[in-house]
């Protein structure tokens, strides 16, 4: 029987390859895990999971069709569990980096109820940031 334990990785296709990598590292605190220029793939560490950034113009990305658009993203959203935070400080940090964000709301996730906020990355992917309990 299959018993899921955690998200292993998510793959985001983009036509803003380096800029999206920079966003996830600079704004969301991910770190470079490994990269393959030949494939057009960079894998970023996000805690115990990976976020794969795929260049739609690279070898790997060309197999997936056109780049995602504002009304045609390839994911609805994904949630990053992050260390506990002060809501006002996090919102100020995001605004400093010109990241549009909503309001904090109580939502249910894998760890039960918790406060989270939705943002959009520079490629239009919706990301939920949720406080670690």
- The answer to whether residue 86 scores a pLDDT higher than 80 is yes
Give a yes or no: residue 1 inside a domain.
no
Which stretches of the chain are assigned E, i.e. beta strand?
9-14, 31-36, 41-46, 49-55, 77-82, 105-109, 112-120, 126-131
Confidence of residue 2 (pLDDT cuts 50, 70, 90): low
Please determine, for residue 32, whether its predicted confidence score (pLDDT) is greater than 90.
yes
For residue 112, pLDDT over 90 is answered with no
Number of folded domains that form the chain = 1
Residue 51 and residue 68: Cα distance in Å, rounded?
A: 16
Is residue 4 in some structural domain? no
On whether residue 62 sits in a domain, the answer given is yes
Please tell me the predicted confidence (pLDDT) of residue 132: 74
Looking at the chain, the whole-number percentage of residues with pLDDT higher than 70 is 98
- What is the C-alpha to C-alpha distance for residues 34 and 43, in angstroms, rounded to an integer? 5
Under DSSP, the state recorded for 76 is: S
Q: How far is 55 from 89, CA to CA, in rounded Å?
A: 32
Question: 36: domain CATH number?
Answer: 3.10.180.10
Residue 53 lies in a domain: yes
Task: Decide if 2 is inside a domain.
Answer: no
Sign of CA dihedral 2, 7, 9, 13: positive
- Residues 128 and 77: beta-carbon distance below 8 Å: yes
Confidence band of 1 (pLDDT split at 50, 70, 90)? low
Range of the domain at 16: 9-131
Classify residue 106: in a domain, yes or no.
Answer: yes
């Amino acid at each position: 029987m299959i018993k899921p334990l955690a998200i292993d990785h998510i793959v985001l296709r983009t036509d803003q390859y380096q800029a999206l990598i920079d966003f996830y590292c600079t704004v969301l605190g991910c770190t470079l895990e490994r990269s393959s220029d030949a494939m057009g793939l960079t894998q970023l560490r996000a805690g115990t999971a990976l976020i794969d950034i795929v260049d739609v113009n690279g070898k790997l990305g060309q197999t997936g069709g056109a780049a995602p658009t504002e009304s045609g993203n390839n994911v609805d959203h994904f949630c990053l569990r992050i260390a506990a935070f002060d809501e006002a400080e996090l919102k100020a940090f995001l605004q400093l980096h010109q990241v549009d964000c909503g309001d904090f709301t109580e939502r249910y996730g894998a760890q039960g109820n918790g406060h989270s906020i939705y943002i959009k990355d520079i490629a239009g992917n919706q990301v939920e940031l949720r406080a670690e309990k």
